[in-house]
């Protein structure tokens, strides 16, 4: 078993599951979406992005691009949340929907990355 591939797969799947955990729930209700969960999703996504830099294949390039999309959307969600938090203790429902929607886009990018990982694994077996 290749430890490098285990760590790579671990962080890709963990990024997706953390992002899903933040995304799930009533979009307008901040009680369902904790800022530390968003922070954890961002950190793990950034780690997954760094792990994808060494691959020089076409699938590696797509892995990296999906990871960059997820990073951009999650960081944008955090910036929006931080900007609104500076205005008061409550996050308006319309802004919370935007934050969660950005997380949803990042989740789709994470799902794409996991699907690519599965396809790549299947191709290696043949």
pLDDT tens track for 37-51: 999 999 999 999 999
The pTM of this model reads 0.90
C-alpha span between 21 and 104 (Å, rounded)? 11
- What span, in angstroms and rounded, lies between the C-alpha atoms of 3 and 45? 19
Which band of pLDDT confidence, cut at 50, 70 and 90, is reported for residue 29?
confident
Percentages helix, strand, coil for the chain, rounded to the nearest 5? 80, 0, 20
pLDDT, tens digit (0-9, with 9 covering 90-100), for 94-126: 999 999 999 999 999 999 999 999 998 888 765
Q: What is the pLDDT of residue 21?
A: 94
Count of structural domains, the chain: 1
What domain range includes position 59?
3-125
């Amino acid at each position: 078993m290749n430890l490098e591939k285990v760590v790579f797969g671990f962080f890709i799947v963990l990024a997706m599951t953390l992002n899903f955990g933040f995304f799930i729930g009533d979009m307008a209700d901040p009680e369902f979406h904790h800022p530390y969960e968003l922070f954890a999703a961002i950190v793990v996504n950034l780690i997954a992005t760094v792990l994808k830099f060494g691959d020089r294949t076409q699938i590696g390039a797509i892995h990296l691009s999906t990871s960059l999309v997820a990073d951009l959307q999650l960081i944008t969600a955090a910036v929006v949340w931080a900007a609104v938090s500076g205005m008061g203790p409550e996050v308006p429902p319309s802004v919370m929907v935007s934050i969660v929607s950005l997380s949803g886009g990042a989740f789709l990018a994470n799902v794409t990355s996991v699907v690519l990982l599965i396809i790549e694994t299947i191709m290696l077996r043949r």
